[in-house]
Structure 1
Amino acid sequence: MRSQRALGSAWLMRQARGQAWRLALPIGLGLMVTACQVTIAFLFARIIVTLLGFASGGGWNDLAVAGGLMLLSAGLSVGQELAQQSAGEHARARIRAALFDRLLELGPADRRGVGEKASLLVDRVEALDGFFARWLPAMTLALLSPAAIAIIVWRADWVSALVLIAMGLLVPIAMAVTGIGAARESRRQLDVLGRLAGRFVDRLRGLATLVQFNRAEDEARALGEAAEEFRWRTMRVLRVAFLSSAMLELLSAFTLGYLAWRHGALLTGRGPTDPTLSLFCILMVPAFFAPLRAFSAAYHEAMSARGAAAELAPLLEAPPEAGLLLEEVPRRVAVVFNGVELLHAGAAAPALSRLTFALAPGEVLMLVGPSGAGKSSVLRLLMGFVRPTAGRIAINGQDVTRLRPAELRRLSSYVGQRAHIFGGTLRENIALARPEATEAEVLRAAEAARVMSFAADLPQGLDTRVGEGGHGISGGQAQRVALARAFLRDAPLVLLDEPTASLDPGTEAEVIEAIGRLCTGRTAIIATHSAALLGLSGRVLELGDRRLADVG
């Protein structure tokens, strides 16, 4: 766990260095605000001293200048806040895009649930906002602004400057003392939030099943208990954060009280002093502690960000995929498995054992066998989501382990047993396979997959919108949309995993007809239990029960 936290902190600092130029603007604006505050404090000191009768010099001109500087300071503060928000938004967008790419790269090899992945992309990345938008500028300003104010006060009264410096140095010590607890509680809070979000998303996906088995009330109570734990953890984090703020306010109050006593004593005759400079030193206490107060407020967010980074860094800091790149995608491919074995981590038995077969270009192979025999594992190996434990897989005579896994996916089109349809139009769902495709190419793919046979009856044809998960169309129609994606992709290797499962005989016949057109001229491997689908090929490879039979 400690090494994971260290990895997260190191990753955050590398991200901060890449964000440095975007933070220059809010830091510059913050220094300008400090300059305005120093000038305003001096002008108010002149005005108050004049009103009290100690000296003359402060007048309406000083008041007008101070008013103008207050308006300028407010405008600069708004600009600083907007610049910080922009820096935070850019950092989050960049990290979220990199994380999404990484999750897509891992594909089925990543065993996290849908809810946990959603929590990583949303909650964990959002937790980084305070680090980039507030903590980094506040940390820099907490060093520069108090140092500049201390130098200015030193010219007026060196004792007051020493007091400010001493109290300012105690602030990071107080932050460190409370920060140990804040970091621990923030990590626990994020862990609970991740579990709560993951459970909530997963239960929503299975809501129909919960209602069917009368488990909705039980799950609602369980979610309520998880939410209560999250509330309790959040209150613990807030208690630590309030303790940190209280320590800062205590230091500020002590400094203000001491300087008021000291300069009050000087003004009553115990030592020569300029009343304007004395009042100026007292008025500089709020300006001195303002950047430190912002630093303290952002400290809790920095601790939350470090907790989130400990989860994100192992994913994002993983070494890039090794392997060669394809110069171009070949038009035809031959596939050879030679003694291939696959053993998943933690599994007692191998998913595949000494699998051997050869597939010529344009040939179709049917994989049959009981569930768990390894049919889907063959497809995952060819898509690069897993690597063989032993043996050799070759495409066109070249070992596939020499290629980057992403390059293997360029060679293939995949259709599973439950095609996922995204919320949008049918045209958009088909074009997902090749976004740069022309309208004519999308239409040809739709016709080849027999999507047009039902799309023609819809209100807007291919531009008809469907709901997330294919709401509005049947399962067979969703499968034809998935086949249209494969037609549009036009890859030389076709991989199908139970493409006709759960379809009625009439719909299955239409889908099989489309599959036959898709496999024509392409190398294809089809995992299936369907007897009707076996008629597409004379090559059948049976898996399972410690035996392999390649039946012609």
Structure 2
Amino acid sequence: MHKDLVLLARTERTVRRHLLTCVVAAVLAGLLVLAQAELLSGVLSGGLTALALLPLAGVVVARALLGRLNGVAGGRTATALKSVLRARLLSRLRDLGPARLTAHRSGELVTLAGRGLDALDPYITGYLPAVAVAGVVPVAVLVRLFAADLGTAVIVLLTLPLIPVFGALVGWQTKAVTERQWRALSRLGGHFLDVVRGLPTLRAFGRARYQATVIRQVADAHRAATMRTLRVAFLSSLVLELVASLSLALVAVPVGLRLLSGSLDLRTALLVLLLAPEAYIPLRAVGTKFHAAMEGVAAADQAFAVLEEPIPGTGGTAAPAPGVPEIRLENVTVRYPGREDAALDGVSLVVPPGERVALVGESGAGKSTLLHLLLGFVTPSEGRVLIGGVDLTTLDLDAWRGRLAFVPQRPHLFASSVADNIRLGSPASDEDVRTAAAAARAAEFVEALPEGYATVVGERGANLSAGQRQRVALARAFCRPGAEMLLLDEPTARLDGRSEAAIVEATRTLAEGRTAVIVAHRPAMIDLADRVVRVDAGRIVSDRLVTRAGPAPGTEAPDHDAWAERVR
């Protein structure tokens, strides 16, 4: 059994109650087979009168009711367990941060949290009760057979282990092919979702048809993996049925011969023939339900692997000194799980207080990873990050992030009002929101909306242009007047000239008096910087100073020669 799932079911009170009801109902229904066989053999042999049909009918009805209870309780157990697991998974994904989500691919995680966890139903409603029944009913049947007929009991005792042995041999192969099937399904779901999200870009560059071909190839791989899994499952069913049938034949033939010879009475023979199959049926059911549950088990393995990932930077309580801090990276290396190449490799960088640093380089060079490192979304595999002389891993991350303003490349807007999207977690008043929007050059288009700042935007800002979404994101940063450090990730990407000019001018105002680290490709954003740092393949390949008109208000101008000497 899956120890993590069982442990989760035992620790959650609601799940434990439903699971206990499901298992007890299944076991009781299995044990009633003994009473049913006793009564039926007695009636058929003439040892009991026709009145025995009434308790026999009662046993049959009781088994039906217990089967119904088993099904209802199993369904509730599955629903409760999946809800708990989904809640924990989504909570952990939130704590891991967006950088770790990128490492996993969001599409694969959506498939895991949806279709993957839904595949746990056969495991919870079928496999777990079947295991409980297989651990109790065969033993009870053997005890009754030993009391009724020693020879038959010995045959059953010797042949009974053959079913779990052959089931385990085929089950190992089943587990391997089912894991391949799940990985194929995960790739299919993840790639499909990623393609749908990027469809406008794909159509713009004429790559939509190519991605349709890729999806077809991935779907064919999943189909082939599914057919391999079904072949193994059918083979397993054939093997288990063959072993059980041969074992029953070894019981039935001697019983028939002894009955003909008169060495065995009819009632005992009927009892033995009715009970012997019930010793094998639970074990065969375990094998059958094991195959049906394997996809859910593979998904559960992946879910618990995500749950066990350490949350970067947790547990710190230290705080850097007040004021704009110095940022120092010392031989920092970052590796994402499941990737061989380092996202950052031995990076050393010093950002003095009040300086504006532009990070440039090709896509995938590690620029966004460096920002996520400063946000505490990822933890260095090697080296350390110092904030005002304090190791970032020892900081209170909530307090540190409260001193940051972050504008991502693709800001997420929620299905709420414009004002709430600008405010986003800050205690800003309506007047503060309007001031922030004006500073971000967003007030003009916001006030032109049907309900102004109360206008509800679609999820991801569906009814706003790219430039408008970016200015709302900048307004969020202006709503954090206490932020001492500004992190910008290509804020002018995919914008037209007018929108870019507005964003650049707003960024210039926003960066005054703050340290700024800007990931930039466009010359207009690079011109805001005091230093330009080029990143390539996770390494800093150049670090040069640029001319700046003067110090930012409220800060001392950094000694460029001294700082350049420290970072070379």
Q: CA deviation at 1:344?
A: 5.1
In 2 relative to 1, CA 174–528 (structure 1 residues): closer, same or farther, beyond 3 Å?
closer
Match of 1:192 among 175, 184, 200: 184
Q: Structure 1, residues 415-461: CA drift from partner, whole Å, max 9, x if none?
A: 11321234x23369728943xx77x8478536632566545554565
Q: Structure 1, residues 192-241: CA drift from partner, whole Å, max 9, x if none?
A: 22222233223223323444454444433442233223222212211211
Q: Equivalent residue for 2:465?
A: 474
Q: CA deviation at 1:13?
A: 1.4
Q: CA deviation at 1:476?
A: 2.4
Q: How many pairs align?
A: 524
Percent of aligned pairs with the same residue? 31
Match of 2:352 among 358, 375, 385: 358
Contact 1:145–1:288 (CA under 8 A) maintained in structure 2: yes
Q: CA deviation at 1:383?
A: 0.7
Q: Equivalent residue for 1:226?
A: 218
Match of 1:415 among 407, 415, 425: 407
* Partner Cα distance (1:290, 1:348) in 2: 53
Q: Equivalent residue for 1:368?
A: 358
Q: CA deviation at 1:79?
A: 1.9
Q: Equivalent residue for 1:169?
A: 161
Contact 1:43–1:58 (CA under 8 A) maintained in structure 2: no
* Partner Cα distance (1:506, 1:215) in 2: 28
Equivalence map 1:456-535=2 (5 Å): 457-459=448-450, 464-486=455-477, 492=483, 493-504=485-496, 506-508=498-500, 511=503, 524-528=516-520
* Partner Cα distance (2:56, 2:210) in 1: 64
TM-score by length of 1: 0.79
Q: What code does the residue aligned with 1:84 have?
A: G
Which ranges of structure 2 fall in alignment gaps of 5 or more residues? 11-15, 535-540, 551-568
Matched position secondary structure for 1:548: strand
Contact 2:316–2:396 (CA under 8 A) maintained in structure 1: yes
* Partner Cα distance (1:168, 1:390) in 2: 55
In 2 relative to 1, CA 340–461 (structure 1 residues): closer, same or farther, beyond 3 Å?
same
Q: CA deviation at 1:172?
A: 0.4
Contact 2:320–2:387 (CA under 8 A) maintained in structure 1: no
- Superposed CA RMSD in Å reads 3.9
Q: CA deviation at 1:182?
A: 1.0
In 2 relative to 1, CA 402–206 (structure 1 residues): closer, same or farther, beyond 3 Å?
same
* Partner Cα distance (2:390, 2:77) in 1: 46
Q: CA deviation at 1:170?
A: 1.4
Contact 2:492–2:503 (CA under 8 A) maintained in structure 1: yes
Equivalence map 1:392-407=2 (5 Å): 393-403=385-395
- The 10-residue stretch of structure 1 (100-109 or 193-202) with the greater mean CA deviation from structure 2: 100-109
Counterpart check, 1:289 vs 2:283? no
Contact 1:494–1:523 (CA under 8 A) maintained in structure 2: yes
Q: Structure 1, residues 462-495: CA drift from partner, whole Å, max 9, x if none?
A: 6655444422111122123324544566763432
Equivalence map 1:93-242=2 (5 Å): 93-104=83-94, 105-109=96-100, 110-242=102-234
Q: CA deviation at 1:320?
A: 5.1
Q: CA deviation at 1:522?
A: 6.3
In 2 relative to 1, CA 36–389 (structure 1 residues): closer, same or farther, beyond 3 Å?
closer
- The 10-residue stretch of structure 1 (447-456 or 469-478) with the greater mean CA deviation from structure 2: 447-456
Q: Equivalent residue for 1:74?
A: 64
Q: CA deviation at 1:16?
A: 1.7
* Partner Cα distance (2:177, 2:126) in 1: 20
Q: CA deviation at 1:289?
A: 3.4
* Partner Cα distance (1:457, 1:43) in 2: 83
* Partner Cα distance (1:200, 1:374) in 2: 26
Q: What code does the residue aligned with 1:41 have?
A: A
Contact 1:415–1:486 (CA under 8 A) maintained in structure 2: yes
* Partner Cα distance (1:474, 1:308) in 2: 38
In 2 relative to 1, CA 502–18 (structure 1 residues): closer, same or farther, beyond 3 Å?
closer
Contact 1:153–1:161 (CA under 8 A) maintained in structure 2: yes
In 2 relative to 1, CA 475–116 (structure 1 residues): closer, same or farther, beyond 3 Å?
same
Q: CA deviation at 1:527?
A: 4.3
Q: Equivalent residue for 2:433?
A: 445
Match of 2:34 among 34, 38, 48: 38
Match of 1:47 among 30, 43, 47: 43
* Partner Cα distance (2:423, 2:140) in 1: 56
* Partner Cα distance (1:66, 1:136) in 2: 28
TM-score by length of 2: 0.78
* Partner Cα distance (2:446, 2:407) in 1: 20
Q: What code does the residue aligned with 2:325 have?
A: V
Q: CA deviation at 1:39?
A: 2.3
* Partner Cα distance (1:432, 1:149) in 2: 68
- The 10-residue stretch of structure 1 (77-86 or 306-315) with the greater mean CA deviation from structure 2: 306-315
Q: What code does the residue aligned with 1:542 have?
A: V
Counterpart check, 1:243 vs 2:221? no
Q: Structure 1, residues 506-535: CA drift from partner, whole Å, max 9, x if none?
A: 545655676577667766544456677689
Contact 2:487–2:518 (CA under 8 A) maintained in structure 1: yes
Counterpart check, 1:430 vs 2:421? yes
Counterpart check, 1:299 vs 2:293? no
